[in-house]
Amino acid sequence: MTFRRKLLLVFALTVFLSVATVAWIVSLVTRRAFERSNEEQTAALVAQFQREFKRNAGDVVHRVEAITASEATTRMALAVSRGTREGGGYLNEAGPIAESHQLDFLEFVDSHGIIVSSAQSPARFGYPENSLANWPSLVSKPAFLKQEELSDGTVLGQFAVRAATVGDQPLYVIGGQRMDRDFLAALELPAGMRAMLYRSTGTLFAPQLLIDASGPMKQAEKLSPLIDQVQKQGHDTTVLMHWSPDLVDDETIHAIPLNGPDDKTLGILLIGSSRRPYVEVKKRIQSAAMLVGGGGILAAILLSSWAAARVTRPVEQLAAAAREVGGGNLHTEVEVTSNDEVGDLAEAFNRMTRELLEQKERLIQTERVAAWRELARRLAHELKNPLFPLQLTVENLIRAREHSPEMFEEIFRESSVTLLAEINNLKQIISRFSEFSKMPQPRLQRVQVNELVGGVARLFQAQLESRNDAAIACQLDLEEGLAPIAGDPELLHRALSNLVLNAMDAMRHGGTLTLRTRQDLDLVRIEVGDTGVGLTPEECERLFTPYYTSKQHGTGLGLAIVQSVISDHGGTINVRSQPGQGATFLIELPRNLDKLRAPVPLTSDVVTRSQ
Amino acid sequence: MLFGWRSLVVSSLLFGMVATAETRPQYGGTLHVATRIAPASFDPADNSQPDSVARRNLSRLMFDTLVVMDHRGHLQPALATSWQAAPGSQRWQFWLRRGVKFHDGLPLTPEAVAASLRVPNPGWNVSAGVDSVVIEREAAAPDLPAELARARNGIAKRGAGGSVIGTGPFHASDWQPGKKLSLSAYEEYWGGRAFLDAIEVEMGRSNRDQLIALELGKTDIAEVATEQAQRTIGNGRRVVTSAPVELMALVFSRDKQSSEEGKQRDALALSIDRASIRSVVLQGVGEPSGALLPNWVTGYAFVFSSDQNLGRARQERSEIQHAPAWTLGYDAGDPLARVIAERIALNARDAGITVQTTMSANPDLRLTRLVLSSPNPRIALPAVAAAAGVGAPNLNSNSIDELYQAENAILQTQRLVPLFQLPAGFALSSALQDWSEDRDGTWHMDDVWLGSTRP
pLDDT bin (cut points 50, 70, 90) of residue A598 is: low
Does residue A254 register a pLDDT over 80?
A: yes
Cα–Cα dist B1/A315, whole Å? 157
pLDDT bin (cut points 50, 70, 90) of residue A448 is: very high
For residue B273, the chain A residue with the least C-alpha distance is: A126
Does residue A409 register a pLDDT over 60?
A: yes
- Mean pLDDT across the stretch B103-120? 95
- B352 or A7, higher pLDDT: B352
Does residue A203 register a pLDDT over 90?
A: no
For residue A123, the chain B residue with the least C-alpha distance is: B343
**Residue A608: per-residue pLDDT:** 35
- Mean pLDDT across the stretch A295-321? 79
**Residue A201: per-residue pLDDT:** 75
Does residue A432 register a pLDDT over 80?
A: no
Question: H or E segment at A252?
Answer: strand A251-259
Contact A123 B340 (CB under 8 A): yes
Chain-wide mean pLDDT for chain A?
83
Mutation choice for A interface testing from B277, B280, B350 by most A CBs within 10 A: B280
**Residue A610: per-residue pLDDT:** 34
**Residue A11: per-residue pLDDT:** 74
Contact A88 B345 (CB under 8 A): no
- Mean pLDDT across the stretch A449-469? 86
pLDDT bin (cut points 50, 70, 90) of residue B294 is: very high
- Mean pLDDT across the stretch A551-564? 75
Does residue A324 register a pLDDT over 90?
A: no
- Mean pLDDT across the stretch B296-314? 94
Q: CB contact, 8 Å: B230 with chain A?
A: yes
**Residue B1: per-residue pLDDT:** 40
- B155 or B2, higher pLDDT: B155
- Mean pLDDT across the stretch B39-56? 88
- Which of B284, B340, B346 lies closest to A88 in CB terms? B284
Q: Which of helix, strand or coil describes residue A106?
A: strand
Contact A91 B356 (CB under 8 A): no
**Residue A601: per-residue pLDDT:** 46
Reported ipTM? 0.75
**Residue B23: per-residue pLDDT:** 66
pLDDT bin (cut points 50, 70, 90) of residue A250 is: confident
- Mean pLDDT across the stretch A407-411? 85
- A61 or A188, higher pLDDT: A61
Which chain B residues are Cβ-neighbours of A87 within 8 angstroms? Answer: 230, 279-280, 283-284
Mutation choice for B interface testing from A91, A108, A114, A118 by most B CBs within 10 A: A91
Contact B339 A151 (CB under 8 A): no
How would you write chain B as a 3-class SS string? CHHHHHHHHHHHHHHHHHHHHHHCCCCCCEEEEECCCCCCCCCCCCCCCCCCHHHHHHHHHHCCCCEEECCCCCEEECCEEEEEECCCCCEEEEEECCCCECCCCCECCHHHHHHHHHCCCCCCEEEECCCEEEEECCCCCCCHHHHHCCHHHCCCEECHHHCEECCCCEEEEEEECCCEEEEEECCCCCCCCCCCCEEEEECCCCHHHHHHHHHCCCCCEEEECHHHHHHHHHCCCEEEEEEEEEEEEEEECCCCCCHHHHHHHHHHHHHCCHHHHHHHHCCCCCEECCCCCCHHHHCCHHHCCCCCCHHHHHHHHHCCCCCCCEEEECCCCCHHHHHHHHHHHHHHHHCCCCEEEECCCCCCEEEEEEECCCCCHHHHHHHHHHHHCCCCCCCCCCCHHHHHHHHHHHHHCCCEEEEEEEEEEEEECCCEECCCECCCCCECHHHCEECCCCC
Does residue A85 register a pLDDT over 60?
A: no
pLDDT bin (cut points 50, 70, 90) of residue B146 is: very high
Mean pLDDT is lowest, of A181-190, A265-274, A548-557, B58-67, for A548-557
**Residue B381: per-residue pLDDT:** 94
Q: Above pLDDT 70, what percent of chain A?
A: 93
Contact A121 B342 (CB under 8 A): yes
**Residue A428: per-residue pLDDT:** 79
Chain A residues with CB under 8 Å of a chain B CB are: 87-89, 91, 121-127, 151-152
Does residue B415 register a pLDDT over 70?
A: yes
Mean pLDDT is lowest, of A91-105, A276-290, A490-504, B253-267, for A276-290
Chain-wide mean pLDDT for chain B?
89
Does residue A57 register a pLDDT over 70?
A: yes
Q: CB contact, 8 Å: B351 with chain A?
A: no
Does residue B9 register a pLDDT over 60?
A: no
Contact A123 B230 (CB under 8 A): no
Supply the pTM of this predicted model: 0.63
User: Which range scores top for mean pLDDT: A72-76, A331-335, B72-76, B128-132?
Assistant: B128-132
What is the tens place of the pLDDT at every residue in A469-490? 778 889 999 999 888 999 999 8
pLDDT bin (cut points 50, 70, 90) of residue B32 is: very high
User: Which range scores top for mean pLDDT: A15-24, A502-511, B270-279?
Assistant: B270-279
**Residue A589: per-residue pLDDT:** 93
pLDDT bin (cut points 50, 70, 90) of residue B82 is: very high
